[in-house]
Chains A and B, each alone.
Chain A
């Protein structure tokens, strides 16, 4: 049954959390991920951390990409991570953050469990490559 073992597409949630209304970046990312062969679930704008958690858990994504441009990452990201832990989904979800994040905060986010932070101007290939390399092994 070799066909059944075909490698599965990487499932990814591209999430806009909080109040900023800039989703051009998220759209571009979503499309680039799609073109890279990922299966992308897009959250839409202005999502609360709880909604992101709900979507990530129910869609059983391998990767959660959070886009934040509002500067509220220090309050929003921990809430998302907490929620994922509550549902036992933190361990095997790769969390990446995109947006304008000061270096100090970057370290803090990584400490919390964010795998990588991608700032403005990061080449798309770099992000995609990072995800391919770090996507959690799942049975």
Chain B
């Protein structure tokens, strides 16, 4: 894009330095690169292009749930447990609360007490800010950077509140949805939304009242969903996925089953329901075992390739749309700005279709000319 040419060599040299730094394992370079990604600053495209080939080996885990479900605390314990077995960890904590001023207080870091001073855990807070290209793109690119840096596991943490967040966690290979005990009615309301994308459901704060009931409700929901959506592509679970044999994980509530696809060819992953206590770390080891099992399933079944393929298809579309949108925005400016155009339409001097045609036509003509 033009933005990269404009600053020419200087930008390129800087990006090359960042890429070298990241591949050499420099914290500062990684931190800087993420800032570039967040700000979509000049050269960030080159940056991601370069990093892309070095990424692809990390297990990407999404953790989502209602505010107060205990995500940050659990992520802290997850990171610490991964570290105990020698894995390096990257965490992206996305805070979508975006006040009017554009400012934000990002507080997820407060709970990262178990990983204090451990530079092998790279924790980065990210605010929503009106980000061009979407927050999910920024998150995906940040995951790419952490992956290329060499992190074995990348955890994306975000509030599960809407479409935006669903898009964010879709970047992950494995999605854990946190639910609080006693939030039975919430389970009902969540059903149609974020619960659909969960690979693992975690009843956190399992030392409080109402655990059994919430676990039972989730179990029921999971199985109803399995009945209702098998064969339907819910956009996350590859229906062409192959065998997941029950290789019994011992966790008390881990349930591994093979659900038959009505097409008769492909058993798929039945979401698990687990319980944890984030504050003590109880159940975290089992949770990680389940993540591993899911990663294994994704890999062996080919579902990972399918998922990644679908995500990149989506990403390409998003990028192209954003770029074309930007071209169109420039064209609108050249024609006097959107307000001017809207006013002309209001005064019946022209109509929305004609205006849109006038703006898009020059772009379309260029494409036609290019294709000879």
Q: Which residues of A contact B (CB under 8 A)?
A: 1-4, 6, 8-9, 11, 30-31, 33-44, 48, 50-51, 54-55, 57-60, 87-89, 139
Chain B residues 1 to 47 lying within 8 A of chain A, measured CB to CB, are 1-3, 14, 27-28, 30-32, 34-35, 38-41
Which one of B3, B35, B110, B113 contacts A42 once the chains associate, using CB atoms below 8 Å? B110
Q: Enumerate chain A residues within 8 angstroms of B102, measured Cβ to Cβ.
A: 9, 37
Q: Are B28 and A87 in contact (CB under 8 A)?
A: yes
B interface vs A, CB < 8 Å? 1-3, 14, 27-28, 30-32, 34-35, 38-41, 99, 101-107, 109-111, 113, 116-117, 119, 122-125, 127, 129, 132, 326, 329-330
Q: Which residue of B lies closest to A46 (CB)?
A: B113
The answer to whether A59 touches B110, judged by C-beta atoms less than 8 angstroms apart, is no
Contacts of A6 in B (CB 8 A): 132
Sample (6) of A-B pairs whose CB atoms are under 8 Å apart? A9-B102, A37-B103, A42-B107, A50-B117, A88-B28, A89-B28
Q: How far is the CB of B19 from chain A (nearest CB, A)?
A: 16
Could you say which of A8, A30, A48 contacts B116, with CB atoms under 8 Å apart? A48
Extra 15 A-B pairs, beta carbons < 8 Å, given A41-B125, A42-B106, A55-B123: A1-B326, A4-B326, A9-B104, A35-B103, A36-B103, A39-B127, A42-B110, A43-B110, A44-B111, A51-B116, A51-B117, A58-B122, A58-B124, A59-B123, A87-B28
State A83–B95 Cα separation when bound (angstroms).
27
- 6 interchain residue pairs of minimum CB distance: A44-B110, A34-B103, A60-B31, A37-B103, A60-B35, A50-B117
Name the A residues within 8 Å of B107 (CB-CB).
42, 44
A39 near B106: Cβ-Cβ < 8 Å: yes
Shortest Cβ distance from residue B2 to the other chain A in the assembled complex, whole angstroms: 7
Closest Cβ–Cβ distance, residue A128 to chain B (whole Å): 11
Determine if A37 and B101 form an interchain contact, defined as CB atoms under 8 angstroms apart: yes
B105 touches A60 (CB 8 A): no
B101 and A34 form a contact (CB under 8 A): yes
Report how far A35 CA is from B1 CA in the complex, Å: 35
Which partner residue on chain B sits nearest A45 by CB separation?
Answer: B110
How distant is A8 from chain B, measured CB to nearest CB, in Å?
5
Complex contact B117–A59 (CB within 8 A): no
Closest to B11 in A: A139
Which of chain A's residues have a CB closer than 8 A to the CB of B113? 44
Kindly report which residue of chain B lies nearest to residue A35, judged by CB atoms: B101
CB atoms of A4 and B110 under 8 A apart? no
Please name all residues of chain A whose beta carbon is closer than 8 Å to the beta carbon of B1 when the two chains form the complex: 1
For residue A37, which residues in chain B have a CB less than 8 angstroms away from its CB? 101-103
For the complex, what is the distance from the CA of A54 to the CA of B103, rounded to whole Å? 22
Q: Which residues of A contact B111 (CB under 8 A)?
A: 44
Contact A3 B132 (CB under 8 A): yes
Q: A139 to B32, alpha carbons, bound, how many Å?
A: 10
